[in-house]
Homo-oligomer: A and B are copies of this chain.
């Protein structure tokens, strides 16, 4: 346990978290579920790691189309379902029933946390208000919190503002709903673009490194921006650096 921070960080009252990749390990969870489905269907051979990567990759362009205004609002559950329908064709998966597909799409509601997440969040919650600030829809984030035992005080979601990060309205919603000044909120994320967008509004920033987010072979961008207030190896390290 480090001393409680002084200086600008002493003002922080709430932490807002990116969830996918930062708090939960979507890739391993999807691969495990895919393998379970394969096993149920006579060990159907599918490259599940590639499937997981491509499923996740469909997410950003769909959200960007919403942000650019070329597509009306669509929530993440529906973005993933549309991508799933495309991917089962591409991977030649014709052995899943509609019921199984609907259930498979809900794997995003049952992702496993990184090993340090729950302990780190429990420690951080002793002093800070903890909120998601995620592009996931509300029900997805609620189910995920119940499944992975994530102790959120508030679920802030793109669905509440109908905009996706890094749209400024997302960060503004945290300021408004938490009734705090931007410098009283610290954005916690494994992705630089998310932290930079938060910093533009005046948030404090914590970069949590997740080198395995896209698997052991993918080179994650771990470039540390000098402007980040905290750089942490994981959530327990973040708690330690904040004196908890």
Contacts and interface: CB of A to CB of B under 8 A. Distances in A.
Interface of A: 77, 129, 137-139, 142, 145-146, 153-155, 159-160, 177-180
Contacts of A159: 177
A178 B139 CA distance: 5
Q: How many copies does the complex hold?
A: 2
B154 A142 contact: yes
Contacts of A77: 179
A146 B124 CA distance: 13
Contact of A138 (B142, B145, B177): B177
Given A155-B154, A155-B155, A160-B160, A178 B138 contact: yes
A142 B153 contact: yes
Nearest to A141: B154
B139 A179 contact: yes
Contacts of A179: 77, 137-139
A146 B137 CA distance: 23
Contacts of A178: 138-139, 142
Contacts of A138: 154, 177-179
Contacts of A180: 139
* The 8 nearest A-B residue pairs measured at CB: A139-B179, A138-B177, A142-B153, A142-B154, A154-B155, A139-B178, A160-B160, A129-B142
Contacts of A145: 153
A200 B177 CA distance: 29
Contacts of A139: 177-180
A12 B100 CA distance: 23
A180 B142 CA distance: 13
